[in-house]
Amino acid sequence: MSVVLPVATKPSQFNSINRFACEVNEKYEGKILSFGGLHPYSENYKDELKAIKNMGLIGIKLHPDYQEVFIDDIACKNVIYEASALGLIILVHAGRDIGYPDPVHCPPEKMRSVIDEIKPEKLVLAHMGGWEQWDMVEELLCGENVWLDTAFSLEYIKKEQFKRIIDKHGYERILFATDSPWSPQREYIERITKLLPDEKVRNAILGENARRLINGVG
**Closest by Cα among 97, 14, 9, 7 to 60:** 7
Task: Inform me whether the pLDDT recorded for 26 exceeds 70.
Answer: yes
Answer whether 128's CB lies under 8 Å from 137's CB. yes
**Closest by Cα among 9, 57, 17, 50 to 33:** 57
**What pLDDT digit, counting tens, does each position of 32-77 carry?**
999 999 999 999 999 999 999 999 999 999 999 999 999 999 999 9
- Please identify, in words, the CATH class of the domain defined by 56-215: alpha beta
* pLDDT of 7: 97
Q: Tell me the one-letter amino acid at 170.
A: G
Backbone angles phi, psi at 213, to 5 degrees: -65, -45
**What pLDDT digit, counting tens, does each position of 88-137 carry?**
999 999 999 999 989 999 999 999 999 999 999 999 999 999 999 999 99
Distance (Å, whole) CA 72 – CA 109: 10
Average pLDDT over residues 6-12: 98
* pLDDT of 217: 61
The pLDDT-based confidence of 216 (bands split at 50, 70, 90) is confident
The mean pLDDT of the chain is 96
**Closest by Cα among 99, 110, 9, 7 to 61:** 7
Task: Inform me whether the pLDDT recorded for 218 exceeds 60.
Answer: no
Could you tell me the residue ranges of all domains in the chain? 56-215
Distance (Å, whole) CA 111 – CA 129: 9
The verdict on whether omega for the bond into residue 103 sits within 30 degrees of 0, i.e. cis, is: yes
Backbone angles phi, psi at 61, to 5 degrees: -120, 135
